[in-house]
Chains A and B, each alone.
Chain A
Amino acid sequence: MNRRNFVKKAGTAVTGAAALGVVGAASANAEPEAEVTEPSAAVPSETLVAYVRDVDSGEVTVASGTGETTYRDKALVKRLVKAARSSEEVV
């Protein structure tokens, strides 16, 4: 299964909202910039989670359902890092 199909099959819920947005790195430039928004739906029972293992090598793992796949995708990681806006911790 290629990445596009994997993400499509994995469902619509995305943690790290940029993950779906960079499917097909070649088309990334044509896509609109990520937009900060408030959550509009509850967390689904099967959450798709993308977590970056190594920024420099572009290694990212996408977990969904009971499986996960690790990719080397610098464009995806770059966009995820950009999306990971730091916010001030509230005590």
Chain B
Amino acid sequence: MSSHREAPEISKDPVADNTDVYAFVSPDRPDTVTIITNYIPLEGPAGGPNFFEFGDDVRYSIYIDNDGDAKPDVVYQFSFDSRLRNPNTFLYNTGPIGSLSDPNWNRRQFYSIKRRDRHGTKTIGSGLASPPCNIGPRSTPHYPTLAQAAVHHLPTGETVFAGQRNDGFFVDLGSIFDLGDLRPFQNLHLIPTPAAPGVDPLKDLNVHTIAIQVPIKHLTRDGSRPTNQASAKAVLGIWGGASRRRVKVIDAANDARGESGPWVQVSRLGNPLFNEVIVPLGKKDRWNGSNPVGDWAYAANVEHPELAKLLPVLYPGVFPNLAGLSAARADLVAILLTGIPPGIVPGFQNYTGKTLADMLRLNVAIPPAAHPKPLGILGGDLAGYPNGRRVGDDVVTIELRAIAGATYPLVKPSFTPDGAASLVTDGVSPGPGRYQSTFPYLGTPHSGFDTPSS
């Protein structure tokens, strides 16, 4: 998955598990950037009576580097606070929830936001309500209205939302984790079965989303809204992270919990699939606790990705040119660790310099596409991944094709990719209703009553 349960330790700590990060110039407000970080993978919509919520004991952060050193220049920090109206019932809600202040809603959650930049740290929002989870027609009868009420416009210019959403990530998990099977091509697999359409198990699941829409001028190094895509100041490096206190003490006898010590990062995510596919199992937990500026330590895993070696083995005879490619993958280093330098893709760059760091790199001078293409830059759409990442970008197919060699000619034109490199896919698409055209862009979460439908 993009980063759902991608490392041993964080797979046991869902509320702190950063599953996806998106960053894009907002299509309906192109003077702003929208950044989304998702948590709590694989939420079953019917998962009550204690429905999903953010961790009160987790600090959620969004980091923005605007000068190319892979260190955060702007940080947004989200902290949550759960409140129980009636401790003497087992119910999440004691009647229909008609508004965010409805007394029928028993277990609510609020949050505050701090922003840190070169001017210091400032609380920019507090007491902000999250919406309830989408339970069903009796409990949350007008869910879209409830969720819209939880979109908060802050006096400092940011718009925020924190709550449950439909998981926008789409992937055929069941096949990929079954020895790298891709159903549309599984007749060519080492252990063949007839080809079949892809299956997306995430299409019926929810996540918890932290979304913030920020004026571009609040994020760039000089406070401008860049219009020249060739300018270094137009590129932002973006990632998300979650931290916990170093020590937690449980006092069951007194029904008390205590925490102490500094915040320790337990989850990190920039490019989709980086920790999942690039970083080896024995280093994944360490990677989650580290910062992008130290990602030089993982450069060898990018230059010689394990998956590139596996594809020719799993699909005999399909990837002969990839099998013969032993050189370091400078194309993948550019996509994942430095950004794409000028002169590689006409009219585009998102290069942040020589510092090797896993960050989403967004060139904010590239305007939103009128008709986005899911394959992003690979499909000729400069506003899509790996220029940041939009909610509907097909990052699985993009990264599969890149690793399969489709992007290597960008750095070595004499290399001829295998024919399959431009065709390989897991064969799934987001389907209708997955997204919405306005903030927070991820669609209404599935309700517990309606999902699964039978």
* Interface residues, chain A, with chain B CB atoms under 8 Å away: 15, 49, 51, 87, 89-91
| Complex: A49 Cα to B248 Cα, angstroms | 11
| Complex: A77 Cα to B316 Cα, angstroms | 68
CB distance from A69 to the nearest CB of B (A): 15
Q: How many positions in chain B have a CB within 8 Å of any CB in the partner chain? A: 12
Considering only CB atoms, which chain A residue lies closest to B75 in the complex? A91
Nearest 4 CB-CB pairings of A with B:
A91-B116, A91-B77, A91-B121, A91-B114
Q: Give the most central of A49, A87, A89: most B CB within 10 Å.
A: A89
CB distance from A80 to the nearest CB of B (A): 12
B326 at the interface (CB under 8 A from A): no
Q: Could you write out 16 A-B pairs with CB less than 8 Å apart?
A: A15-B247, A49-B247, A49-B249, A51-B247, A51-B249, A51-B258, A51-B260, A87-B262, A89-B263, A90-B263, A91-B61, A91-B75, A91-B77, A91-B114, A91-B116, A91-B121
CB distance from B126 to the nearest CB of A (A): 14
Question: Which residues on the B side are within 8 Å of A15 (C-beta)?
Answer: 247
B residues 227-258 in Cβ contact with A at 8 Å: 247, 249, 258
* Interface residues, chain B, with chain A CB atoms under 8 Å away: 61, 75, 77, 114, 116, 121, 247, 249, 258, 260, 262-263
Q: Give the most central of B77, B116, B260: most A CB within 10 Å.
A: B260
| Complex: A49 Cα to B261 Cα, angstroms | 12
Question: Which residues on the A side are within 8 Å of B121 (C-beta)?
Answer: 91
CB distance from B251 to the nearest CB of A (A): 9
Considering only CB atoms, which chain A residue lies closest to B114 in the complex? A91
| Complex: A87 Cα to B258 Cα, angstroms | 19
**Could you list 10 further interchain pairs (A-B, Cβ under 8 angstroms) beyond the known A89-B263, A91-B77?**
A15-B247, A49-B247, A49-B249, A51-B247, A51-B260, A87-B262, A90-B263, A91-B61, A91-B75, A91-B121
Q: Give the most central of A15, A49, A89, A91: most B CB within 10 Å.
A: A91
